[in-house]
A and B are shown apart, each in its own frame.
Chain A
Amino acid sequence: MIDRSYKDLLKMRRFPHTWCPGCGIGAVLKNVAMVLRELGWGSENTVAVSGIGCSGRMSGYMNLDAVHTPHGRALTAAEAIRRVREDLHVIVLSGDGDLASIGGNHLLHTARRNPDITVICNDNEIYGLTGGQAGPTTPKGTKTLTSPRGEPFPPLRLGRILTEQAPYFYARTTVYHRQHLQQCIREALLWKGFSFVDVLSDCIELNGRRLGFRTAFQMLRWFDERFRIVRGIREHLEEDELGIAQAKETAPTKKVPEEKYEPPLPSVEALRFISHEELERFDGREGSPLWIAYKGLVYDVSKSPLFQGEKRMRCHIAGKDLTHEIDAAPHGEDLLFSFPVVGRLV
């Protein structure tokens, strides 16, 4: 016998519902109810929140306390409810125009704040209730009432936007792939944090017919042709893939710069004594290093590009105490400090 107990979660006395025959929203509603029943969630611990539009009517048919917000504000309302009532499961049942267009700003910021709510988005790629105008997810080139020559702009790619920053849960499925739809809804409801299920759904009357489909079934078969199911947990989904992309919160992404090892500077006391006679031997002759003295310290300047042959550092002669010369030189003493100190002049 078929288990029909999920109907307890629907306001059956309000049926028949407002949606057109063949519409995909009914399938979304039914599968949400079935998964809620399976999980044992009900009116005592679950609240449904919707926005405006055909899809926004879903919460009104749920046999739960439901909040039907102004256009686009479902996510904000759901977040606030969840914030003050951590004992409640909050699910958002709404459409792509509501969530991604007028509520686009809220989508970005609610996802960023990551409240523990689940969003079931009935994504039919059209504004259905108002008669079939182009929406934020309408594919480029689609003819609608407001794009008679074909939608000129590319659609918003929710799959990319919502999987940009961990933690995230984004699932894409369709009303045709029923088992997969239920699986995605179940995983999303059980996910701790913000989860988003993008359910591709058919609007036969106000989108499909204009596209050339004669029946809702043809449109469902079109979903089968357009998409393929990928198994397992992905990081991202390609545009033709149905599946689940998720990522847990990662460790702080800010990279701590590696500390460069710098040997401690030798203390002046530790340096060896160098006499004037010894210094004079290191004047670059016969390949010897080039040393000069400045203010009592002896520097090895052999690596200097200014070394110009035997005994000479441009204007200066190596192997000598050059304190007076360097103080008088236009370049100052800074030039010297990058060279290693080899000893103390005595």
Chain B
Amino acid sequence: MNHTMRKLLSGNEAIFQGAIRAGARYFAGYPISPTSEILQQAALHAEEDPTFRFLQGEDEIACAIATISASLAGVKAFTATSGPGFSLMQEAIGWGHVVEAPCVFVNSMRVGPSTGMPTQPAQADLFQVQGGSAGDYYPIAFYPHSVEECFRLTVTAFNAAEESLSPVVLLADAFLSHLYELVDLEAIEVEVVPRTKEPLGRGKRLFTGTAHDKLGNVKTNDPDIYRAWISEIKGRHHEVAEKYPLYEYLPREDSDTLLIAFGMLSRIVSPLKRRFPFFRPIRILPLLAKELREVTKSYRRILVVEGSDGQYGSWVQGAIGREVISIPCLGGGFRLRWIEKELQKRLEESP
């Protein structure tokens, strides 16, 4: 391997480079730790490349709306924020699902609620990603665990967005955003799905957040039209998600306890892989229910180590229909020693 091409890059930088590789031509953002570096890079990139536009909006509401609008106008667009900003973006995300705008929202999670602990890592925005906006919608979300994967999954997120015609979420955490690793982005080969949605100025369509029929006519009192529309959206999103059944599974036969972790925590607990079989979901949403059911079949106990108070664990529990032991690493405490101690305690509690 040619080591000279490798560069020291942070997760944030890899995400930005991934977006550029995927063909992104618009970025809107508002400064927030830990994703401000993505905004800064966008500003620099706009100087170099006149076809790339960027907006530092007055707030995250504007940035999210601008991202979706730029996507409707005909370019690949993305935005990046953290939990508090993601809360402000929820309105636009719901709108993006209804007007079917392919774009990418990066949410690098930090400890919440509210301002929380800037900037300690967390994984507690999963519920927010799943359903923070009003009504039913079916988001797709990926969560990398290394700088290289940040790059790859950003491209994957853009591809899934183009295929599902929806805002796709790329999750990260404060730890991963600021993690520096040696990577050679040039050597990474990725497949890029081109834009197929017709841009604005080509017809007489109405892109509305109000319920509408196929022609874009507003229909606010017809349950049949609504049901047909939402089942189409649901079907399409799940179909696209099926194309990306991303996970990592390391079976072991000497233990009856399966360890589940994802994102940065999956790296931190990696010494435990010598003791326990290990499952790392990469596609967080829609939940890898089929895969989880299959994998957990052969284990008696399921342990989920995560940076929230059991958000992913509760989904796993719902999918496999039996109890899951959750080890919540709260307050940014992603530390192996603490996790090992807590894990021992839990295992003794439920022999």
Q: A-side interface residues toward B, CB under 8 Å?
A: 11, 14, 43-47, 49, 57, 59-60, 63-70, 73, 76-81, 83-85, 87-88, 105-106, 108-109
CA distance A241 to B69 in the complex (A): 36
- A81 → B minimal CB distance (Å): 4
CA distance A46 to B55 in the complex (A): 22
**B200 surroundings in chain A (CB, below 8 A):** 47, 65, 67, 81, 85, 88
CA distance A81 to B204 in the complex (A): 16
**A69 surroundings in chain B (CB, below 8 A):** 65, 69, 95, 209
Q: List 16 A-B contacts (CB under 8 A).
A: A14-B217, A49-B69, A60-B206, A65-B204, A68-B207, A68-B210, A76-B57, A77-B69, A79-B55, A80-B67, A80-B69, A81-B70, A81-B73, A84-B25, A106-B62, A108-B58
Q: Which 5 A-B residue pairings sit nearest by Cβ, starting from the closest?
A: A68-B208, A80-B66, A77-B69, A80-B69, A109-B58
- Contact between chains at B65 and A70 (CB < 8 Å): yes
CA distance A65 to B202 in the complex (A): 7
- Contact between chains at B91 and A83 (CB < 8 Å): no
Supply 12 further A-B pairs (C-beta < 8 A) apart from A76-B65, A83-B70.
Answer: A68-B210, A70-B65, A73-B65, A76-B62, A76-B69, A80-B26, A80-B28, A80-B55, A80-B66, A81-B70, A83-B55, A109-B57
- A70 → B minimal CB distance (Å): 5
- Contact between chains at B95 and A65 (CB < 8 Å): no
Contact A11 B66, CB 8 Å, known A83-B53, A84-B25: no
- A190 → B minimal CB distance (Å): 19
- Contact between chains at A80 and B58 (CB < 8 Å): no
**B61 surroundings in chain A (CB, below 8 A):** 73, 76, 106
Interface centre among B61, B65, B199, B218 (most CB of A within 10 A): B65
**A59 surroundings in chain B (CB, below 8 A):** 206
- Contact between chains at A67 and B67 (CB < 8 Å): no
Interface centre among B69, B77, B91 (most CB of A within 10 A): B69
**A84 surroundings in chain B (CB, below 8 A):** 25-26, 53, 70, 73-75, 77
- Contact between chains at A43 and B203 (CB < 8 Å): yes
CA distance A47 to B73 in the complex (A): 10
- The B contact surface, by secondary structure, is mixed
Binary contact readout B43-81 vs A (1 if CB under 8 angstroms, 0 otherwise) = 000000000010101110110011111101111010000
CA distance A68 to B94 in the complex (A): 13
Flag whether B205 is at the interface (Cβ < 8 A). Answer: yes
Binary contact readout B299-324 vs A (1 if CB under 8 angstroms, 0 otherwise) = 00000000000000000000000000
- A126 → B minimal CB distance (Å): 21
- A122 → B minimal CB distance (Å): 18
Q: B-side interface residues toward A, CB under 8 Å?
A: 25-26, 28, 53, 55, 57-59, 61-62, 65-70, 72-75, 77, 91-92, 94-95, 99, 199-210, 216-218
- The A contact surface, by secondary structure, is mixed
**A87 surroundings in chain B (CB, below 8 A):** 201
- Contact between chains at B201 and A106 (CB < 8 Å): no
Closest chain A residue, CB of each to CB of B95: A70
**B217 surroundings in chain A (CB, below 8 A):** 14
Contact A77 B209, CB 8 Å, known A67-B72, A85-B201: no
**A46 surroundings in chain B (CB, below 8 A):** 201
**A66 surroundings in chain B (CB, below 8 A):** 205-208
CA distance A63 to B209 in the complex (A): 18
Contact A105 B95, CB 8 Å, known A76-B69, A84-B25: no
- B134 → A minimal CB distance (Å): 10
**A68 surroundings in chain B (CB, below 8 A):** 206-210
- A204 → B minimal CB distance (Å): 23
Closest chain A residue, CB of each to CB of B210: A68
**A11 surroundings in chain B (CB, below 8 A):** 204
CA distance A78 to B59 in the complex (A): 16
Contact A70 B204, CB 8 Å, known A80-B65, A81-B70: no
**B73 surroundings in chain A (CB, below 8 A):** 47, 80-81, 84-85, 88
**A105 surroundings in chain B (CB, below 8 A):** 58-59, 62
- A63 → B minimal CB distance (Å): 5
- Contact between chains at A43 and B70 (CB < 8 Å): no
**A83 surroundings in chain B (CB, below 8 A):** 26, 53, 55, 70
Closest chain A residue, CB of each to CB of B96: A70
Closest chain A residue, CB of each to CB of B62: A76
- Contact between chains at A65 and B201 (CB < 8 Å): yes
Closest chain A residue, CB of each to CB of B203: A65
CA distance A76 to B72 in the complex (A): 13
Closest chain A residue, CB of each to CB of B61: A73
- A25 → B minimal CB distance (Å): 15
- B239 → A minimal CB distance (Å): 27
Contact A73 B204, CB 8 Å, known A80-B26, A80-B73: no
Contact A47 B201, CB 8 Å, known A68-B206, A85-B73: yes
- A57 → B minimal CB distance (Å): 8
Closest chain B residue, CB of each to CB of A72: B61
- Contact between chains at A73 and B92 (CB < 8 Å): yes
CA distance A83 to B54 in the complex (A): 9
Closest chain B residue, CB of each to CB of A83: B53
- A40 → B minimal CB distance (Å): 15
Closest chain B residue, CB of each to CB of A71: B91
**B210 surroundings in chain A (CB, below 8 A):** 68
